[in-house]
Structure 1
Amino acid sequence: DSLSAVLIIAQIFALMPVRGVSSKFAEDLSFSWLSFRSCYALVVSILFAISSGYMAAFVMHVNFNFDSMETLIFYGSIFAISVAFFQLATKWPAVVLEWQMVESQLPALRTEKERGALAYHIRMIVIVATSCSLVEHLLSMLSTIYYVQECPVLPNRPIDSYLLIVFSMFYHFVEYSTTLGVLGKIINVLATFAWSFNDIFVMAVSVSLAARFRQLNDYMLREATLPTSADYWIQCRINFRNLCKLCNVVDDAISVITLLCFSNNLYFICGKLLKSLQKKPSASHTAYFWFSLGYLLIRTLILSLYSASINDESKRPLLIFRLVPRQYWTTELKRFSEEVHMDQVALTGMKFFRLTRGVVISVAGTIVTYELILLQFNKTDKLNDCHKI
């Protein structure tokens, strides 16, 4: 239920074609290849694939440089993201059924505020991230409009000039028309949203999983100093084990998306930091560049911390167990403690890495390492005053 707003917005932009996302019951979720949502998502994925193909042809046959490679990697990764979400849509009803079953066995939340806290948190993530993405896209449009004003590609046709510049690589192979220009802009908007939504989705899932571990931890914390029986700890251990299994189920379903998330962010952070030494041709370019870089850095940091919170909450029982009086310490509690200590509960990027707090330091270290290497090959030059078509 907490993720329904995220999925509804995703479907507007041709991602996650699952039916019944507005329902409060997992049984209402379903996937059908013949539904309008699936056909819409499939058509957009094909458009992303075609765009990526033309970008690759441009890089290989027209102009191979850092900027053209960046555009190719952007659209190629967007195509991979759209395919990954389409694949996830086929698994999502089963994942949510498992989630609902595990959630129903957890200790009940005590107040209405607690019950609404998760949905509110996710809504705020969506609102803030989407608003920042919109501002970023508007600034990007302003920087493109600079070229339309200073050196129009099609004189006295500002709208067509803008549309041509937005998808300029494509028109090296296909003759420009207003219809194709509008289609190119639509693809550009859908791609921009898909790139941001990738992070939003992983954040929302991470916050939701961490909240369920926190729900169990808070319940154990309230009872830790009170007289407890072996049966109590057996039930808590069963709930904890169910949450661990749920985390594995979710990870198996979204690990490709998680990998795309972090690899994309890492690449574009390095690319933008490298470009930070370039002089910008206008104030709009400067505003767009620094807002985009700042937003990307903050988004990646928040994504890392939210993802790591699952592992943090899974280890928190060890602190709670220390509060249990010695006379109530049982063999079952000892076994529970050993399980918590040994288990590594976390989302992963296709098992290549685990999302723990250490990943924040690792990502930062990787960025610094690559940046030092890239700077050796960088020239402190200025961006073109006019956009090359």
Structure 2
Amino acid sequence: MSNKDLSQLLRNNKLLLPRQPNHDDFLTVMDNIFKWSCFFGVLGSKRYFCYFWSAFILGVLLFMEIQAIWKVIKALAGTAIDTAGQRSVTARLAGTIFYTIAILCLILASKLYRSWGDIAALWAKVERVMAVKVPTDKTLKKKMYFFVGFMTVCAMLEHSMSIISSIGLDCPPALIIKRYVLISHGFMILRHEYSDWYALPLAFMSTLATLLWNFQDQIIVLISMGLASRYHRLNQCLVKVCELEQKQMDSDKKNDATNVYTWRKLREAYVKQAMLVRKVDSSIGGIIVLSCFCNFYFICLQLFLGITQGSSSEPIRTAYYFVSLGWLCFRVISVVLAASDINAQSRRALKHIYTHDTHCYNVEVERLQNQLSKDYVALSGNGFFILSKSILLQMASAIITYELVLIQFDDKGTDEGQLNLTKNAIGV
């Protein structure tokens, strides 16, 4: 057999080790999540249908965004026919920002999906070249799927409540679509402009926009879970090394060289893990900024309207208000806590090193200690802020500050219908 034939045989043989599929649970789940995301427009697959579908979704969203921006400009210029209730400036601006978030999320998620092959290759390489044997996380896959299912179900329930609060419980079935679109998209469509051919695509796109908004938080949490799991496994390995050394303290010193080698490989594993975190951070920084901004904005808006306008006379709208606000807070807390766990896990090994017996110390243990104590590893929003637990307190204080300022400058003449529209603009 010639060298050319041998090379061709090797390329076609998928059972060879370099071409074997990666069985990492995290990468398997993420691949499935990205494949499912193609249904609501995220571009990543190289199939022609996916290109067409993604371009179609993006084109429709851009058209709706242009329409919404034009309505805001007309309201600010004073040339709008109707600026009351669901067509007020605040309501139009909320709807415009909502669809802006959907467009940016679609673009950033597609960019991440297109570059995920390189990230997955680096992820697998770091796992493969580690010279230390780390235990596997058998619960990671189940936790990731559970979180995705939980977030999706809760998002759809919240979206369903927004529809019910818009149309009310006494709406005839024949008027459900019309009433929902005229209330939730009043910032975009007037009553005399209504058409079923226009309303159905709006209702469909609002659902896709809700899924996109939910997807960006899912991506951050899932990736954070994977990175934190890897640090947790490394920490377990370090604990086992410390326990073994404690048992060998009374033996002869022939194992010193072996111990130094083990600690060196363990330190190198932490270095590679920190490198992987920074690579991922550079890829999802834009999504983190977008997620924190939009959740922060709508929490402030919800609180402001709830404080200034008071509770609605209809129980369903009051219930939706609290459910929507609680859901926004839950998403923010989930994102921050999941991402901050990476930083916590990256420093958790220090307590085991500090309590390690001094007779077992060597130069590699000292280097690892300095590395973990001085190297700050965490996800960030493009370097503008770090996702740590302290940021929750900072966000809470900022929300309170903005609410107090807005309440002081609040125009008491704001119409009562503005609250209902903005709630529906958030939940569309």
Please state which band the TM-score falls in when normalised by the shorter chain.
0.7 to 0.9
Structure 1 residues 157 and 94: alpha-carbon distance in aligned structure 2, compared to 1, 3 A threshold: same
Are 1:242 and 2:272 matched, yes or no? yes
1:355 match = 387
Pairwise CA distance, 1:131: 1.4
1:197 match = 215
Alpha-carbon distance in structure 1 between the residues aligned to 2:389 and 2:401: 19
2:363 match = 331
2:179 match = 161
Alpha-carbon distance in structure 1 between the residues aligned to 2:55 and 2:138: 35
1:258 match = 288
Contact 2:68 2:96 (C-alpha < 8 Å) held by counterparts: yes
Count matched residues.
367
1:133 match = 155
1:29 match = none
Contact 1:270 1:370 (C-alpha < 8 Å) held by counterparts: yes
Are 1:345 and 2:360 matched, yes or no? no
Name the aligned partner's letter for residue 117 of structure 1: T
Name the aligned partner's letter for residue 178 of structure 1: D
Alpha-carbon distance in structure 2 between the residues aligned to 1:3 and 1:90: 13
1:269 match = 299
My pick for the range that moved more, 221-230 or 198-207, is: 221-230
Larger Rg: 2
Alpha-carbon distance in structure 2 between the residues aligned to 1:9 and 1:378: 44
1:25 match = none
2:4 match = none
1:92 match = 116
1:24 match = none
Structure 1 residues 210 and 98: alpha-carbon distance in aligned structure 2, compared to 1, 3 A threshold: same
Q: 2:320 aligns with which of 288, 300, 304?
A: 288
Alpha-carbon distance in structure 2 between the residues aligned to 1:365 and 1:9: 37
**Structure 1 segment 170-249 matched on structure 2, within 5 A:** 170-172=188-190, 175-227=193-245, 229-249=259-279
Alpha-carbon distance in structure 2 between the residues aligned to 1:157 and 1:67: 23
The Cα RMSD (Å) is 2.5
Pairwise CA distance, 1:102: 1.2
Deviation string, structure 1 residues 39-65 (Cα, Å, up to 9, x no partner): 322221222211111111111103462
Structure 1 residues 225 and 156: alpha-carbon distance in aligned structure 2, compared to 1, 3 A threshold: closer
Contact 2:134 2:234 (C-alpha < 8 Å) held by counterparts: no
Deviation string, structure 1 residues 341-385 (Cα, Å, up to 9, x no partner): 111111110110111222122112211211221221235777329
Are 1:73 and 2:97 matched, yes or no? yes
My pick for the range that moved more, 61-70 or 90-99, is: 61-70
Q: Match of 1:224, SS?
A: helix
2:24 match = none
Alpha-carbon distance in structure 1 between the residues aligned to 2:276 and 2:183: 46
Name the aligned partner's letter for residue 155 of structure 2: S
1:26 match = none
Contact 2:177 2:199 (C-alpha < 8 Å) held by counterparts: no
1:36 match = 49
Pairwise CA distance, 1:158: 4.3
Pairwise CA distance, 1:175: 3.9
Alpha-carbon distance in structure 2 between the residues aligned to 1:270 and 1:120: 34
Contact 1:308 1:356 (C-alpha < 8 Å) held by counterparts: yes
Structure 1 residues 343 and 387: alpha-carbon distance in aligned structure 2, compared to 1, 3 A threshold: closer
Higher RCO (CA 8 Å, separation ≥ 6 residues) = 2
My pick for the range that moved more, 224-233 or 95-104, is: 224-233
Name the aligned partner's letter for residue 98 of structure 1: L
| Sequence identity percentage | 25
Alpha-carbon distance in structure 1 between the residues aligned to 2:294 and 2:305: 17
Alpha-carbon distance in structure 2 between the residues aligned to 1:382 and 1:175: 23
Pairwise CA distance, 1:319: 1.1
Name the aligned partner's letter for residue 352 of structure 1: F
2:7 match = none
Contact 1:109 1:115 (C-alpha < 8 Å) held by counterparts: no
Contact 2:231 2:273 (C-alpha < 8 Å) held by counterparts: yes
**Structure 1 segment 97-136 matched on structure 2, within 5 A:** 97-106=121-130, 107-108=132-133, 110=135, 115-136=137-158
Alpha-carbon distance in structure 2 between the residues aligned to 1:242 and 1:80: 31
Contact 1:148 1:162 (C-alpha < 8 Å) held by counterparts: no
My pick for the range that moved more, 214-223 or 38-47, is: 38-47
TM-score normalised by L of structure 1? 0.87
Q: Match of 1:229, SS?
A: helix
Q: Match of 2:189, SS?
A: helix
Are 1:7 and 2:34 matched, yes or no? yes
My pick for the range that moved more, 135-144 or 372-381, is: 372-381
Are 1:369 and 2:401 matched, yes or no? yes
Q: 1:18 aligns with which of 36, 40, 44?
A: 44
Alpha-carbon distance in structure 1 between the residues aligned to 2:304 and 2:288: 25
TM-score normalised by L of structure 2? 0.80
Alpha-carbon distance in structure 1 between the residues aligned to 2:201 and 2:226: 36
Alpha-carbon distance in structure 1 between the residues aligned to 2:192 and 2:269: 58
Name the aligned partner's letter for residue 195 of structure 1: W
Alpha-carbon distance in structure 2 between the residues aligned to 1:224 and 1:291: 48
Deviation string, structure 1 residues 300-329 (Cα, Å, up to 9, x no partner): 112111110011111112112123221221
